Copies of this chain bind each other. A is one copy, B any other.
């Protein structure tokens, strides 16, 4: 304990998911998470503000990956193609499917976790809207493209973690985007 270790955040996150799975989210304390990871409670709080936050450690990386892809897309790309590039970029920073499934199951069964998840998603949508505006996309088109991107992400992601699903996240995101195009063109 206390010695330097790489990936402290990831170790804490993994320990937390294990314990939430074994004992339930409510029944697990921060001290237990730290102990399972071979770290101290103080170290935990250097990395995460509270017990909830350990489940949302990836949100920052997600936002960075998405907004960087938006900023770096070719100047000529239409907003929806910029979204497609952003979705592919975030697929690359996702944990493996088993971990994502565990996490989803914990978050989905606790309203306070679901609330934080929705806040993170809204924050991501706002950051993507901003990144689109910075490319010169008009305000409403930027907001709609970002929200459409979030919709595609949500549906593709939920499909990816569904039981028995075998296909990979980038494929499912691309497929969801095609389906959204088909749905919106259908009127």
Interface residues of A (CB under 8 A from B): 78-81, 84, 111, 114-116, 118-119, 121-122, 140-141, 143-145, 147-148, 150-152, 154-155, 158-159, 176, 179-187
Copies of this protein in the assembly total: 2
CA separation between A184 and B186, bound complex, in Å?
12
Question: Per DSSP, are chain A's interface residues mostly helix, strand or loop, or mixed?
Answer: helix
- Whether B141 lies near A151 (C-beta < 8 A) is no
Q: A56 to nearest B CB, angstroms? A: 13
CA separation between A186 and B80, bound complex, in Å?
6
- Whether A159 lies near B187 (C-beta < 8 A) is no
CA separation between A81 and B181, bound complex, in Å?
14
CA separation between A159 and B140, bound complex, in Å?
9
- Whether B184 lies near A140 (C-beta < 8 A) is no
CB nearest neighbor in B for A112: B115
The residue from B84, B118, B122, B141 contacting A183, defined by CB atoms under 8 A apart: B141
Chain B residues with Cβ under 8 A from A114's Cβ?
A: 119, 122
Chain B residues with Cβ under 8 A from A179's Cβ?
A: 140-141, 144
